[in-house]
Structure 1
Amino acid sequence: MTVQGRGESTDPDGDALDRAVAAFRAGEPVLVHDADDREGETDLLYPASAVTPAAVARLRNDGGGLVFVALPDAVAERFDLPFLHEVLDHPANDHTDLGYDAHPSFSLTVNHRDGFTGVTDDDRALTIRRLGEVSDEAGYGVEAFAEEFRTPGHVHLLRAAPDLLTERRGHTELGLALAREAAVSPAVAGCEMLDDGTGGALSTADARAYAREHDVPFVEGATLVDALR
């Protein structure tokens, strides 16, 4: 397959994008590196509707960062999900010193009501998978959301900027642009890749090595921005 009118390409970035779109279309993971001058992190991303308990185990074992679900602005509006920093009344709610982004995408944390504690692989997979499924249901609003999910919980919801990559270029928007291109449900699960040795973000070189070892597509955020914004 090729992306939106591009012919067959031998360009490495183009091939990486084609592989990433094909993987998302098949419900498989992709590694996305945002940018060295932003967070400088690589996230392991899945279409949320395809997430299984094994995928959650992979996110927490191979990723190690925060397990989240990113939702487009329109879906967040339908579910009445706020940007948390806009509704939180606390003196620590100040992001002016955040060098890479002054507009955090954090929203509520949720559990599915059919789970137990919400934190097990089975429980989080249920929460994430259902978020992916209902994100594509135009008639599913805040009342249905409240009947099925409770807050606070163990899955962090992230709300994307309304215009995605033309407005913000975080993993929230990068993942959702990839989902849109792949024509899958508009919800993306993910987790930052951390280095077990240093405790810091996994280096880009090591993330690429992981991608080769596990046959997971690796794509640069700049490639997604250039092709999908």
Structure 2
Amino acid sequence: MQGESTGALESALTAFRAGDPVLVHDADDREGETDLLYPASAVTPDAVARMRNDGGGLIFVAFTDAVADRFDLPFLHETLDHPANDHSDLGYDAHPSFSLTVNHRDGFTGVTDDDRALTIRRLGEVSADDSYGVDAFAEEFRTPGHVHLLRAAPGLLTDRRGHTELGLALAHEAGVGPAVAGCEMLDDDTGGALSTADARAYARQHDLPFVEGAALIRALA
């Protein structure tokens, strides 16, 4: 089993270095979901189409805490003054990772595959540029928009073990930029999360790496 986990991790790292997607399952006792994850800088219109057609959940970009600070991205729940902003009943985490939603200013409506790919790809590219700050961010992106941004916990897997942190830990180990795009995989028949068995079958069918969150935590935390 250990060898299988090591092989899956190496395949995932190789895929990320090539800009290819990886399927990551968090844990059955957490969300119990599999996300389709990409290095954000490698996302194309075809990748967006794959996420919305084969994933079906929310398409997002996750940043490390340091990048989110550089772009001055808040946790959205810390900025909202509304009675619905209450997460005491959140069953799987202390609070959500959501920050702003954005569109690239060179797009049109922001929701097409081309527009979202432009937004996501540029977010990935600028995440790796330490000289790119909030003023440059505001010149290039507008909010609200059609791409959801997520903030990772400062210590990644030592602080939180969601897909946000799992994907960014994988990106760090692979040596790619500190921004990951992804989408939850849903079941067309039930409307719920795609089962782990079906997610593994999808990975085999499309020759994509599938890795368990526990394996990433053992190797990277």
1:43-85 CA-partner distances (Å, limit 9, x unpaired): 0000000000000000000000000000000000000000001
5 Å-filtered alignment, 1:66-81, equals 66-81=58-73
Shift of 1:199: 0.3
Q: TM-score, normalised by structure 1?
A: 0.95
| Aligned equivalent of 1:83, options 70, 75, 84 | 75
Q: Distance in 1 between matches of 2:2 and 2:212?
A: 16
> In the TM superposition, what whole-angstrom CA distance separates every residue of 1:162-185 from its partner, at most 9, and x where no partner exists?
000000000000000000000001
The count of corresponding residues between Structure 1 and Structure 2 is 221
1:180 maps to 172
Structure 2: 5+ residue stretches without partners: none
Residue 4 of structure 1 corresponds to: none
Partner of 1:215: 207
Report the RMSD for the aligned CA atoms in angstroms: 0.9
Q: 1:92 to 1:23 in 2, by over 3 A?
A: same
Aligned partner of residue 197 in structure 2, secondary structure: helix
* Residue 97 (structure 1) aligns with: 89
Q: State the percentage of identical aligned residues.
A: 83
Structure 1 residues not aligned, in runs of 5+: 1-8
What's the CA shift for 1:102? Answer: 1.6
Cα deviations across residues 116-136 of structure 1 (Å, max 9, x unaligned)? 000000000000000000000
Query: Aligned partners of 1:165 and 1:96: how far apart in 2?
Result: 22
Distance in 1 (alpha carbons) for counterparts of 2:196 and 2:16? 21
> What amino acid sits opposite 2:202 in the alignment?
Y
Letter in 2 for 1:90: H
Instruction: Give the counterpart of 2:37 among 41, 45, 49.
Output: 45
Instruction: Give the counterpart of 1:121 among 98, 113, 124.
Output: 113
Once the two structures are superposed, residues 128-169 of structure 1 have per-residue CA deviations (whole angstroms, 9 ceiling, x without a partner) of 000000000001000000000000000000000000000000
Q: For residues 139-150 of structure 1, what are the structure 2 equivalents within 5 Å?
A: 139-150=131-142
Match of 1:11 among 3, 7, 22: 3
Q: Which of the residues 153, 167, 183 maps onto 1:161?
A: 153
Look up the match of 1:137: 129
User: Which shifted more, 10-19 or 26-35?
Assistant: 10-19
1:41, distance to aligned residue in structure 2 (A): 0.1
What SS class does the counterpart of residue 181 from structure 2 fall into? strand
Name the TM-score, length of structure 2 as normaliser: 0.99
Separation of aligned partners in 1, 2:78 and 2:23:
30
| Secondary structure, counterpart of 1:11 in structure 2 | helix
Q: State how far apart, in whole Å, the 2-side matches of 1:85 and 1:225 are.
A: 27
